[in-house]
Amino acid sequence: MSSYSIPEEVIRRIREQADIVEVVSQHLLLKKTGQNYTGLCPFHHEKTPSFVVSPARQIFHCFGCGAGGNVYHFLTKTEGLTFPEAVRALGEKVGIKIPTVKRSPPNPEAEKEQARLYELNQAAVQWYHKNLLERPEARTARAYLAQRGIQTETIEAFCLGYALPSWDGLLKKMTEKGCSPFLLEKAGLVSAREQQAGFYDRFRDRILFPIWNLSGQVIGLGGRVLDEALPKYLNSPETPIYIKGRSLYAMEKARHEIARAGCVIIVEGYFDAIALHQAGVKNVVATLGTALTPFHLQMIRRFAREVILIFDPDQAGINATLRTIDLFLVSGMTARVVSLPSGQDPDNFVRNHGTEGFLTAVRQAKKPMDYALEQFMAQTGVSGIDQKLRVAEQILPLLSKMENRMEQSHYLKKLSDELKVKEADLAHELKKLSEKGPRTAIKSMQPVTGPTPVPKEEEILLHLLLHGKLSLERVAEVLTPEDFSDVRLKRIVRLALDCFQKSASQEGLSSLIHSELIQPEDAAFSIGVEPAWVGL
Position among 28, 65, 330, 495 found at the interface with Zn ion (CB under 5 A):
65
Piece in contact with Zn ion (CB under 5 A), picked from 38-46, 97-105, 328-336, 457-465: 38-46
Least distance to Zn ion, CB of residue 46, Å: 6
Least distance to Zn ion, CB of residue 56, Å: 21
Does position 62 interact with Zn ion (CB under 5 A)? The reply is: yes
Least distance to Zn ion, CB of residue 298, Å: 23
How many Å apart are CA 69 and CA 518, to the nearest integer? Answer: 18
Least distance to Zn ion, CB of residue 78, Å: 12
How many Å apart are CA 276 and CA 282, to the nearest integer? Answer: 7
Position among 41, 150, 170, 512 found at the interface with Zn ion (CB under 5 A):
41
Half-sphere exposure of 71 (CA within 13 A, CB side): 30
Q: Would you say 44 or 305 has its CB closer to Zn ion?
A: 44
Q: Would you say 357 or 531 has its CB closer to Zn ion?
A: 531
Q: How many residues bind Zn ion (CB under 5 A)?
A: 6
Angle, helices 506-517 vs 83-94, to 10°: value is 110
Least distance to Zn ion, CB of residue 398, Å: 29
Beta strands in 236-310 (DSSP E): 263-267, 284-286, 306-310
Q: 430: buried, middle or exposed (CB in 10 Å: 19+, 13-18, 0-12)?
A: buried
Q: 448-456 long-range contacts, Cβ below 8 Å, gap at least 24?
A: 449/244, 449/245, 449/290, 449/293, 449/295, 450/245, 450/293, 450/294, 450/295, 451/294, 451/295, 451/486, 451/488, 451/524, 452/486, 453/330, 454/485, 454/486, 454/488, 454/489, 454/527, 455/485, 455/486
In DSSP terms, 39 is beta-bridged to 51
Does position 44 interact with Zn ion (CB under 5 A)? The reply is: yes
Beta strands in 141-240 (DSSP E): 161-163, 190-192, 199-201, 206-212, 218-225, 233-235
With beta carbons less than 8 A apart as the criterion, state whether 150 and 351 touch.
no
Pairing assessment for the beta strands 161-163 and 101-102 based on DSSP bridges:
unpaired
Least distance to Zn ion, CB of residue 72, Å: 18
Does position 60 interact with Zn ion (CB under 5 A)? The reply is: no
CA 241 to chain centre: 16
Closest to 125 measured CA to CA, from 66, 170, 68, 73: 170
Q: Would you say 67 or 284 has its CB closer to Zn ion?
A: 67
How many Å apart are CA 83 and CA 93, to the nearest integer? Answer: 16
Least distance to Zn ion, CB of residue 40, Å: 9
Least distance to Zn ion, CB of residue 44, Å: 4
Does position 27 interact with Zn ion (CB under 5 A)? The reply is: no
Least distance to Zn ion, CB of residue 415, Å: 34
Does position 43 interact with Zn ion (CB under 5 A)? The reply is: yes
Least distance to Zn ion, CB of residue 306, Å: 13
Does position 497 interact with Zn ion (CB under 5 A)? The reply is: no
With beta carbons less than 8 A apart as the criterion, state whether 92 and 75 touch.
no
Q: Would you say 28 or 479 has its CB closer to Zn ion?
A: 28
Q: Would you say 305 or 414 has its CB closer to Zn ion?
A: 305
With beta carbons less than 8 A apart as the criterion, state whether 194 and 166 touch.
no
Does position 491 interact with Zn ion (CB under 5 A)? The reply is: no
Q: Would you say 68 or 222 has its CB closer to Zn ion?
A: 68
Piece in contact with Zn ion (CB under 5 A), picked from 20-28, 36-44, 364-372, 476-484: 36-44
Q: Would you say 71 or 208 has its CB closer to Zn ion?
A: 71
Q: Would you say 54 or 319 has its CB closer to Zn ion?
A: 54
Piece in contact with Zn ion (CB under 5 A), picked from 54-62, 247-255, 407-415, 441-449: 54-62
The DSSP 8-state label assigned to residue 61 in this structure reads E
How many Å apart are CA 71 and CA 8, to the nearest integer? Answer: 15
Does position 64 interact with Zn ion (CB under 5 A)? The reply is: yes
Which string of x and - marks every residue 447-486 that binds Zn ion (by CB under 5 A)?
----------------------------------------
Q: Would you say 44 or 135 has its CB closer to Zn ion?
A: 44
Least distance to Zn ion, CB of residue 467, Å: 21
What is the edge-to-edge ordering of all strands in the sheet holding 36-39? Answer: 31-33, 36-39, 51-54, 59-62, 68-69
Q: Would you say 42 or 91 has its CB closer to Zn ion?
A: 42
Positions that interact with Zn ion (CB under 5 A) = 41, 43-44, 62, 64-65
